[in-house]
Amino acid sequence: MAGRGVYGLAKVLEGIGLVVVLAGVLGSMSLGFREEGLASMAFEFRGLMIGGCLFLAGWLLERVAGRR
């Protein structure tokens, strides 16, 4: 039962990470359309870093649980 909880938590972290990356890219595009290039790059970088870290944490948690 505990293994299912860890697996579920890992999948939730991976999903949230992907959503954060998508939000970062969309926010970056929005700023880019308003000719705010540097702010756009900063927004995208933050989204990629935070989302990537969440996804990586979920992936590692899943590996430790032995599901892959």
* In contact, 13 and 58? CB cutoff 8 Å: yes
Does the pLDDT of residue 2 top 80, yes or no?
Answer: no
pLDDT tens per residue across span 15-68 = 999 999 999 999 999 998 988 888 899 999 999 999 999 999 999 999 988 755
Report the alpha-carbon distance of residue 40 to residue 68 in Å, rounded: 36
Which position has the token pair 């990629």?
A: 48
Report the alpha-carbon distance of residue 25 to residue 32 in Å, rounded: 10
pTM: 0.84
Binned at pLDDT 50, 70 and 90, residue 10 comes out as very high
How far from 63 is each of 20, 25, 66, CA to CA, in Å? 22, 27, 5
In terms of residues, how long is the chain? 68
